[in-house]
Amino acid sequence: MSSQPDPRIIVALDYSAAAPALTLVRRLDPTRCRLKVGKELFTAAGPRLVEQLVSAGFGVFLDLKFHDIPNTVGAACRAAAGLGVWMINVHALGGRAMLTAAAEALAGLPNAPHLVAVTVLTSMRAADLLEVGVSDTPEEAVERLTRLARDCGLAGVVCSAREAAALRARHGPGFLLVTPGIRPAGDKAHDQVRIATPAEAVRAGASHLVIGRPITQAPDPLAALTRIESEIEGMLP
């Protein structure tokens, strides 16, 4: 991997076009944050935008949550690696064969991105899981899927901060825990359910915090980033 600084904050570029995303990015610092490109922006702007962000010095988390047959997911992971991104993800519910295919597709590649698995979306409650046939609580499902991802050679998982402390205790300091659903105290939850403040997430053991609207919709995004950095500074080892 690159020797660039290792900022914990990943700014979610939840935009429908490249222009506003690039306007925001020009106000940020690649030594202080990474960027997340998800389905909406990638569908609108494509690989070219990702390459622009990488060229600007940002570590990019390509958040496309691949979930398909093993061969297709392996090929998609190799294609994503070719864009020079820092991290990619797949859905742990794709199962052992798919997760293994994803990990094997990246094995041996120069500067391969970190591969993490989405466990349970932070918008889901126990009732939502039950409706799709999962009788576990969110915490139980996250732990089971995390064990599977680790067994298949993945670098970490995407989970809510509510599960981070238990996962950190069980899986040790080197395992990546990427936590969306981060809201500074007093901010609206929007469509997230299992949320936490930045300080709570870091205290629980999160390695990286995905934060969107509290930064992207702030009048001064860099000032908002600075406030969040200050909030978590006292929690860092």
Catalytic residues: 65
**Does 217 carry a binding-site annotation?**
no
For the chain, helix (H) and strand (E) counts, in that order, are 10, 8
Tell me the C-alpha distance between 157 and 150, whole Å.
9
Of 91, 101, 87, 79, the closest CA to residue 153 belongs to 101
Tell me the C-alpha distance between 150 and 170, whole Å.
11
CB-CB contact of 45 with 18 (8 Å): yes
CB-CB contact of 194 with 234 (8 Å): no
**Does 71 carry a binding-site annotation?**
yes
Which ranges of 58-179 does DSSP label H, i.e. alpha helix? 70-81, 96-106, 126-131, 138-151, 161-171
**Does 36 carry a binding-site annotation?**
yes
**Does 4 carry a binding-site annotation?**
no
**Does 72 carry a binding-site annotation?**
yes
**Does 171 carry a binding-site annotation?**
no
**Does 234 carry a binding-site annotation?**
no
**Does 63 carry a binding-site annotation?**
yes
**Does 122 carry a binding-site annotation?**
yes
**Does 67 carry a binding-site annotation?**
yes
**Does 70 carry a binding-site annotation?**
yes
**Does 39 carry a binding-site annotation?**
no
User: DSSP class of residue 147?
Assistant: H
Name the CA dihedral angle for 74, 75, 76, 77, rounded to a multiple of 10 degrees.
50
Integer distance in angstroms from the first to the last C-alpha of the chain?
22
Tell me the C-alpha distance between 118 and 87, whole Å.
12
Output the known binding site for substrate. Answer: 14, 36, 63-72, 122, 183, 192, 212-213
Output the known binding site. Answer: 14, 36, 63-72, 122, 183, 192, 212-213
